[in-house]
Amino acid sequence: MALPALSLSRSPSSSVSSSPVDRCPRSTSTFRRFGSSFAYKPAAGICSASQAIELLPSLCPEIVVRDAQLEDCWEVTDTHCSSFFPDYKFPLDLVLRIDRYIALLSGFSVPPGCMRTCLVAVNSNSVNNSFSIERGDPRDAGAGFQKYNLNRGSIAGILTIDTVADYLPRRGPLKQRRTGIAYIANVAVRKEERRKGTAKMLVQEAEVRAKSWGCRTMALHCDVNNIAALQLYKNQGFKCIRVPEGAKWPEPKIAKGVQFSFMMKLVPKI
């Protein structure tokens, strides 16, 4: 079982539900927005819709996208595993989470000149429960005492982006890594947070990050049976790339029999 590596932030100094779908076509459709407007003057004593809506609680929580921090590690791991491996039962689900947690902590190591970061969408309206893990004697602060803070309940979704090019075809006879391409992976949204635009916000922030790294292109692999994810990426400008027949391009290995569409998008210069 090999997945694109999860990773915490390594920046410069400064799951969407699935359903059956055919393979992605070579071209995408352009959608136009239509709208209408009208004027209405409410009668005296009747409040307008804009006034009434202020009396109601917000339907969509406030989502903020940022780089993952050390205390987010366990919740990032849990979001990843619950989205990609929802059917795993105890104790296998616990073993998987520990494995992914260790992989996340070791994600700092990238080849020279490459970048990698994990973005998290934080729900500022959720109740945040934090707990800590202590190691050593707290009375001996200078004798190796360590305290790790972990958060739970605030992360709505995750996404990793890197320029390592592990899942891109190598270049030339020397099989060199491709440069200038930001690769998106591990896009996952908690079940209770879906249908709120969280994944879209993560992808848009990933594009901002790719641009700041000087990348000219973004790439990803998407399960051909995940119609919601395919539509999301198409709406964000990604197009399916036809893989040459017989070519052995690298792909993520999530489960046996899973087929992927390889998608790319040019990063706007402005």
| Domain-embedded: residue 76 | yes
pLDDT tens-digit readout, 167-208: 999 998 998 999 999 999 999 999 989 889 999 999 999 999
d(CA 8, CA 34): 41
Q: What is the largest CA-CA distance in the chain?
A: 78
| CATH number assigned to the domain comprising residue 146 | 3.40.630.30
pLDDT, position 130: 46
Report if residue 27 sits inside a domain.
no
Q: How many domains does the chain have?
A: 1
Question: Residue 174: inside a domain, yes or no?
Answer: yes
Report CA-CA distances (Å) from 205 to 140, 143, 185, 236: 43, 41, 13, 12
In a domain? residue 134: yes
Mind telling me the catalytic residues? 233
Does residue 14 belong to any structural domain of this protein?
no
Let me know if residue 41 belongs to a domain. no
Q: What is the pLDDT of residue 98?
A: 92
Give the domain extent around 172.
61-266
What are 54-74's pLDDT values in tens digits? 443 444 558 899 999 988 999
Residue 85: the pLDDT is: 87
In a structure prediction context, what are the per-residue pLDDT tens digits for the chain, which is 270 residues long?
445 556 554 433 335 543 333 344 443 333 333 333 334 344 444 444 444 334 434 445 588 999 999 889 999 999 999 888 888 889 998 999 999 888 888 766 788 999 999 999 998 775 454 444 445 555 555 555 444 444 455 899 999 999 999 999 999 899 899 999 999 999 999 998 988 999 999 999 999 999 999 999 999 999 999 999 999 999 999 999 999 988 889 999 877 888 999 999 999 986
pLDDT of residue 124: 78
Q: Is 11 domain-assigned? A: no
Q: What is the pLDDT of residue 62?
A: 84
User: Whole-model pTM?
Assistant: 0.69
